[in-house]
Copies of this chain bind each other. A is one copy, B any other.
Amino acid sequence: MEKHNNGSSTGTLYVVGTGPGSAENMTVAAINALKMSDIIIGYKTYLELIPEFLEGKEVISSEMMKEVDRCGKALEYADLGKTIALVCGGDPGIYAMAGLVFEMAQKAKNSCKIEILPGLAAINSCAARLGAPLMHDFAAVSLSDLLTPWLLIEKRLEAVAMADFVTAIYNPKSKKRTEQIVRAREIFLKHRSPETVVGIVTAATRENEKIIVTTLKELLENEIGMQSTVIIGNSQTYRWNDLMITPRGYSDKYQI
């Protein structure tokens, strides 16, 4: 892919999506970007999932919530002419760091080249592990109200519940935030049957992966954590064996 933001610096910042967290589930382009980089910067947990790409590199790892620091360092080193990989779990463009990189580069007038290497987001990998839950019109909503007013999140949940979207819930629950998923379920129950199929995927494709297919009624009786994505089916979604399947059509125009 071509690079964005052609500036005067000879450095390059690759914003690299590592997908659910292993070399196998990364794209060839993302792997190549890591190999070409002098310095690899990322959140500790994501870097630990790809140890084979860190050997012989300068590695700057940091804790969660230090996104602004990580972005700032990545841009600073790239401006000095280095080739940097800023690692994001999932896809940099979906609830990750692509936006912050551009926001900061604009304010700091950085002149390095910036290239986004997309990866499999939770929405891609969790769907594949559940069978075929998306398949039709869908929405993604994060329940984290750290940077978004809760009233806007409720308005969005209400809108997509009412219009029968398959809905992927990002950041459903953390140790401190436990009430948002309770409220989200209430909103969906106003518009959808308690028997609506719901999938919960925790740590997709990793060693500790856990896949649950349940219903809106029983959603809260299941384990939901920091590594979970919740996918609420639409009115047509059904369960078959251990799978969650949304038919592609509302009509029966094709015969199968």
Contacts and interface: CB of A to CB of B under 8 A. Distances in A.
Interface of A: 1, 4-5, 19, 23-29, 31-32, 68, 71, 91-95, 98-104, 106-107, 116-121, 124-125, 127-129, 131-142, 146-149, 152-153, 155-156, 158-160, 162-165, 205, 240-243, 245-251, 253-256
Nearest to A245: B102
A252 to B, nearest CB: 9
Contacts of A132: 92-93, 98-99, 101-102, 116
Given A103-B245, A241-B5, A256-B107, A156 B128 contact: no
A138 to B, nearest CB: 6
A137 B141 CA distance: 5
Q: With a 10 A CB-CB cut-off, give which of A93, A107, A119, A158 has the most chain B CB atoms.
A: A93
Contacts of A98: 127-128, 131-132, 135
15 contacts: A24-B28, A27-B120, A68-B254, A91-B127, A93-B127, A104-B256, A116-B128, A118-B127, A121-B124, A137-B142, A138-B139, A149-B250, A152-B250, A155-B163, A159-B163
